[in-house]
Structure 1
Amino acid sequence: MHIARYAALALLLTLSACASQVDAGVVRDGGAPGFWWGLWHGFVFPFAWVGSLFSDDIAVYAVPNSGGWYDFGFFLGITVLGGGSVFGSKKRR
């Protein structure tokens, strides 16, 4: 049973190694959204996602962006500001 879990984990890790970001999606100039815009977009993600279901003009992720710093801000916005860490830290009764 444990061997199947380890095999599935190894398969997922192998597949995730194939993931990459398209170079056209990363812009190095000063006008591309960076960390602070990523933080904001992560925070408003639930509202933007609902809006994107009804309108093609609403996106939940900015492309192009500045790359890793935008992604880091987006992650923090979703997990910290969006309540992800709050729900995970509550004690279960």
Structure 2
Amino acid sequence: MSRRAAPLALLAPALLLAACAREAASAVAPGAPGFLLGLWHGFIFPVAWVISLFDPRAAIYAVPNDGGWYDFGYFLGIVVFGVGARKGHVVTRDRIVRVRER
């Protein structure tokens, strides 16, 4: 098996199993936290996670929520406005060294 095929062989069954997952009906309720609260909860995720380690009453995700829109807001809160919005590193080039080949 090639080096590239081995990770795919492990990943494929996991993805197929995850595709069968369903959200519990009790986790979705009309009038529960929606998109805007999901956005807020995603944005404050790092702080909420640390607090949840020490306080069992604190949670990082609202249950019940209104389903897909809450999840979308949560995702955007983490990735766009929260943790994922940080720049990794910036590469700058202040000089170029050219090497002559002989």
TM-score by length of 2: 0.78
| Structure label with greater radius of gyration | 2
Q: Does 1:14 find its partner at 2:30?
A: no
Counterparts of 2:40 and 2:48 in 1: how far apart (Å)?
Answer: 11
Match of 1:36 in 2: 36
The residue aligned with 2:69 is: 69
5+ residue gaps, structure 2, are 93-102
Hey, what does 2:82 align to over in structure 1?
Answer: 82
Shift of 1:91: 4.7
Total equivalences in the alignment = 90
Higher helix share: 1
CA RMSD of aligned residues (A): 1.7
SS at match of 1:33: coil
1:28-72 Cα deviation digits (max 9, x unpaired)? 2x2x10000000000001000000111111110000000000000
Describe the SS at the equivalent of 1:87.
coil
One-letter code aligned to 1:9: L
Give unpaired runs (5+ residues) of structure 1: none
Normalised by the length of structure 1, the TM-score is: 0.84
Q: List 4+ stretches of structure 1 deviating above 6 A.
A: none
Equivalent-residue separation in structure 1 for 2:5 and 2:80 (angstroms):
35
Percent of matched pairs sharing the same residue: 56
Task: Indicate the residue corresponding to 2:57 in structure 1.
Answer: 57
